Amino acid sequence: NKAQAEITYVTAERLVDPQKGTAIANAALIIEDGKITAVGTAAEIEKPAGAEHIDLGDKTALPGLIDMHTHITGDPTKGGGYASLVIPVERTIIWAVENARKTLMAGFTTIRNVGSDGYETLSIRDAINAGEIAGPRMFVSGPPVGIVGGHCSDNNLLPPSYEASGEGVATGPWEMRAKVRQNIKYGVDLIKTCSTGGVFSKGTLLGAPQGTVEELTAIVDEAHSRGLKVASHAHGTIGIKNAIRAGVDTVEHVSYLDDEAIRMAKKAGTYFSMDIYNTEYTLSEGEKNGVLPESLDKERQVGGIQRESFSKAVKAGAKVVFGTDAAIFPHGDNAKQFSRMVRFGMTPLQAIRASTSLAAKALGREGELGCVAVGCRADLIAVSGDPLSDISVLEEVAFVMKDGVVHKDD
């Protein structure tokens, strides 16, 4: 962390404004106390006296990126399948320090961490906020709340005599509410639940719903009444619809979509977070990494369908945000998903919005994050080339500023 002069003046050949959907040529910004206080062309905005000048030259600047679905303590090369059983949670915190740094260096200045063993990710968030380690701003869920034997996040690997269970496992609306209250007590930013089985959990089915609408509604009611948003993991159509009916804010994965589910989401204002890159990593590296054969089978079933659903959702005008499930693939490779989002139906501008202005809206932080207007947090990245014509340039981020502090300047 390089300490910055109190006032910073940034110039760049191009600045993408996702909210306006345009780029400013020969742009200039003024940053004070971690916030943007002026933005426009360099002709309009002069360098304030005494300000430090950061000249990004011929690069394109844009707001720091947001990944709505990560697990910062996870590493795909360590602890796949049964190997996970011998990894203490403390060890994963050590990995998270490096994962957080890589994520920030890749241009992601904000992430949602939607699920961890316990409350360890809250300390990672707090250490980043205190400047003790480098990393993105984190919105963390703590332990996911879900049913016995479910994807969120029971331990189904061991035989009954071990009596293994996950932290957020509950039965019935009141127990679910109690888990939500406990998570809020310890300081989570959002609640994660699951309304279907998953790829990486043993003995769960992608198509089978998990939790009743009554249970899901209890989770959402409890979270919303305390001012927190809810993310629900759902692959199968029934579980996607149950989550939307219950009023969750974002549905994660969203693999098997039908027209009715899209209509319901549009009506309810539900966001879809669709992780359409990681399938490639799992299918090429998963076996070597110890992923369960059952999970590999499920990934083979779901990867292609999820991409078709993504195309359908985008075409129908559903709100699709950028979420990768980083941890399934190495942290720092998050931006690889952009080119897939464009290949499967988004314009480059839509893909950028999915990871900036639209993601900020889904977080309830519109006008603060994912934007470059006056009053926005000074989260700024820069790349060579023009992401509005070639989205893959976002895979090579040359400059990263978070809250007005420069973390990378190549």
Residues in contact with ligand ARG by CB under 6 A are 198-200, 253, 275, 278-279, 299, 302-303, 306, 325, 328
Q: Closest distance between ligand ARG and the C-beta of residue 198, in Å?
A: 3
Residue number with CB closer to ligand ARG (233 or 407): 233
Whether 200 and 291 have beta carbons less than 8 Å apart is answered as yes
DSSP string spanning 164-220? ---TTB--HHHHHHHHHHHHHHHT-SEEEEESB--SSSTT--SSSB-S-HHHHHHHH
Q: Closest distance between ligand ARG and the C-beta of residue 196, in Å?
A: 8
Q: How many CA atoms lie within 13 A of 39 on its CB side?
A: 25
Whether 152 and 193 have beta carbons less than 8 Å apart is answered as yes
Closest CA to 206 of 114, 279, 121: 279
Q: How far is CA 340 from CA 95, 277, 346, 385, in A?
A: 27, 7, 9, 19
Q: Closest distance between ligand ARG and the C-beta of residue 355, in Å?
A: 17
Residue number with CB closer to ligand ARG (4 or 204): 204
The helix or strand, by DSSP H or E, that contains position 234, with its residue range, turns out to be: strand 229-234
CA atoms of 256 and 242, how far apart (whole Å): 13
Residue number with CB closer to ligand ARG (202 or 402): 202
Q: Closest distance between ligand ARG and the C-beta of residue 206, in Å?
A: 7
CA atoms of 388 and 406, how far apart (whole Å): 24
CA atoms of 235 and 194, how far apart (whole Å): 9
Q: Closest distance between ligand ARG and the C-beta of residue 279, in Å?
A: 4
Residue number with CB closer to ligand ARG (221 or 294): 294
Q: Closest distance between ligand ARG and the C-beta of residue 255, in Å?
A: 6
Q: Which two tokens stand for residue 393?
A: 């340039």
Residue number with CB closer to ligand ARG (59 or 151): 151
What CA dihedral angle connects 22, 27, 33 and 35, to 10 degrees?
-10
Residue number with CB closer to ligand ARG (9 or 310): 310
Residue number with CB closer to ligand ARG (194 or 342): 194
Q: Closest distance between ligand ARG and the C-beta of residue 234, in Å?
A: 9
CA atoms of 89 and 73, how far apart (whole Å): 9
Q: How many CA atoms lie within 13 A of 391 on its CB side?
A: 22
Residue the block writes with tokens 């949602």: 112
For the packed helices 237-246 and 259-268, what is the interaxial angle rounded to 10 degrees?
20
Residue number with CB closer to ligand ARG (11 or 282): 282
Q: Closest distance between ligand ARG and the C-beta of residue 287, in Å?
A: 15
Residue number with CB closer to ligand ARG (62 or 302): 302
Residue the block writes with tokens 């090429």: 284
E-assigned strand segments in 259-386 = 271-273, 319-321, 380-383
Closest CA to 243 of 251, 91, 235, 373: 251
Residue number with CB closer to ligand ARG (52 or 308): 308
Q: How would you label 347-384 residue by residue, b for 16+ Cβ within 10 Å and e otherwise?
A: ebbbbbbbbbbbbbbbbebbeebbbbeeebbbbbbbbe
Closest CA to 196 of 130, 146, 131: 146
Q: Closest distance between ligand ARG and the C-beta of residue 268, in Å?
A: 22
Q: Closest distance between ligand ARG and the C-beta of residue 253, in Å?
A: 5
Q: Closest distance between ligand ARG and the C-beta of residue 63, in Å?
A: 26
The residue whose Cβ lies closest to ligand ARG is 198
Residue number with CB closer to ligand ARG (34 or 303): 303
